[in-house]
Chain A
Amino acid sequence: MTDDHRIDRAAFAELQDNAGEDFVAELVGTFAEEAPALLSELRAALALGHAERFRRAAHSLKSNSNTFGVRSLAELARTLELGGLPADSAPLDVLDAEFAASLAALQRLAHEGSGG
């Protein structure tokens, strides 16, 4: 199965060119550590009905997704950022799944370059 469609390969390659492949691999690691907190923040904000916290977390996730060229995840996060609090947590389940798949794809890509 290929996850390549999730990631804008040109944008990712440009990031590697500009910042260095090893650095980008580390940065993907940082994203893997930090993003789950954003995903739980989204769920917490939804449970509390806190629209501003929800928007901010979605905004951060969108921003980071764009940095790595993860277009599908960025688009989901953007919809949440601009759409206000959803009626239920269904969109967050979709987001979680998309994040997991995107991260796996990112990690593979990040190690392709340096690992060969």
Chain B
Amino acid sequence: MAERGARLLVADDNKVNRLLLGRTLELHGHRIASVENGRKALEMLQQAQASGQPFDLLLLDLEMPELDGFGVLQALAADVSLRDLPVIVTSSLEGVAQVARCIELGADDYLHKPVNPVLLKARVGSSLEKKRLRDQQKDMVRRFATAEVAQDLQQSGFALGGRRITGTVMFSDIRGFTALVERQSPEDTIELLNTYYTLMFEAISGQGGVVNQMVGDGLMAIFGAPLPLADHAAAAARAALEMQEMVALLNAERVAEGKVAIAIGIGIASGEMVAGYTGTQHRATYTCVGDTVNLAARLEAHTKAAGKPVLLDSAARAGLGAAFELEALGATVVAGKREPVEVWALSTGAPC
């Protein structure tokens, strides 16, 4: 939402203050609703959220009957759908302690009454701009996460930095992609990639995984972060089988159109890793780092030499139930690893 024409809620028990703030904000081009206590403010915010026309910002007085401004800030912080709503506190309470408490409780800003209209315009504009950036980030996350995962990200916030998790990482690549690109038109390549990614995303998010990186024809997916997943290894294995099926279907179409069939290689590894946001405040990506991640990438690279489309490490294999057919390839030296690792091939029925 742009700075102008935003939807704002004014909560103030004093009618003169309420009318004047509303008027000032209307003159700045915003649409205003107002309420006279904190309880009504919460009700109105929740209703607006539920009806799909949420407020963009709340101007909040502190001393109000029924529920005061501090109570509103606490309730907002505890409400997943409202915790990102920018709040500007307007009060004539004296003393810096009140200001500090509001900021601690999550208020964006604090304006003393009587509110200076120029300052009000600047602060409202800045809060709305920050909200716009946050909304953009959320949209970006939704593009590579299921709704469930996106909501979890919203809850845990966008703090940069990692935490230790146990999960499964998958790397996938189109075999011989460079040669393929040379044989077809750029338009055909883009079309192939779009179709390929759509199918792979479908298979991965359908199993609770999150695609967090796409580079050329390769992708990285995480199972078990940011949302814990009880059977992360099995989920990754199911996704791998589905991906192979999807590629088989895609190939049937491609061959019918006289195009070359493609093949993908998938590497899967389970274990502890550090997951979190990396990047800047405005552009961040969710990712995992650690030995497990490196191993999954190495296994994916090893699929070609092994002649098997899906390879797993022993930890991932240990996390699978009896429902999967596996072939032990034994201790294998993979590029980038000094010690040989136990490698398992997942039977897919697909040609390699």
Which A residues lie at the B interface, using CB under 8 A?
18-20, 23, 26-27, 30-31, 34, 56, 59-60, 62-64, 66-67, 82
Q: B258: shortest Cβ distance to chain A, in Å?
A: 71
Minimum distance in angstroms from A26 CB to a CB of chain B: 8
User: Which of chain A's residues have a CB closer than 8 A to the CB of B190?
Assistant: none
Residue B27 CB within 8 A of the other chain: yes
Minimum CB–CB distance for B20 against chain A, Å:
6
Interface string of B96-124 (1 = CB under 8 A from A): 00000000000000000110010000000
* Interface residue SS majority, chain A: helix
Interface residues of B in 10-54 (CB under 8 A from A): 13-17, 19-20, 23-24, 27
In the complex, number of A-B residue pairs with CB atoms less than 8 Å apart: 48
State in angstroms the CA–CA spacing of A77 and B93 once bound together: 13
Query: Of all chain B residues, which has the CB nearest A56?
Result: B63
Closest to A60 in B: B14
B74 beta carbon closer than 8 Å to chain A: no
Q: Which of A30, A59, A67 contacts B114 (CB 8 A)?
A: A67
Q: In the bound complex, what is the Cα–Cα distance between A67 and B94 (angstroms)?
A: 16
Our pick among A20, A26, A59, A64 for the contact of B63 (Cβ within 8 Å) is A59
Q: How large is the interface on B (under 10, 10 to 19, 20 to 34, 35 or more residues)?
A: 10 to 19
Establish whether residues A34 and B16, one from each chain, have CB atoms under 8 Å apart when the complex forms. Answer: yes
Q: How far is the CB of A13 from chain B (nearest CB, A)?
A: 13
| B interface residues (Cβ-Cβ under 8 A, vs A) | 13-17, 19-20, 23-24, 27, 63, 92-94, 113-114, 117
Q: Are A64 and B23 in contact (CB under 8 A)?
A: no
Of the residues B15, B19, B24, B93, contact of A59 by C-beta under 8 Å:
B93
Closest 5 CB pairs of A and B: A63-B92, A67-B114, A18-B117, A64-B16, A66-B114
A26 to B16, CA, bound (A): 10
Picked from A30, A56, A62, A63, the residue with its CB within 8 Å of the CB of B19 is A30
Apart from A30-B15, A63-B113: 20 A-B pairs, beta carbons within 8 A: A18-B117, A19-B23, A19-B24, A26-B19, A27-B16, A27-B19, A30-B16, A34-B14, A59-B92, A60-B13, A60-B63, A62-B92, A63-B14, A63-B17, A64-B14, A66-B114, A67-B16, A67-B20, A67-B114, A82-B94
Interface pairs (12), CB distance under 8 Å: A18-B27, A19-B24, A19-B117, A20-B27, A27-B16, A27-B23, A60-B13, A62-B92, A63-B113, A64-B16, A64-B17, A82-B94
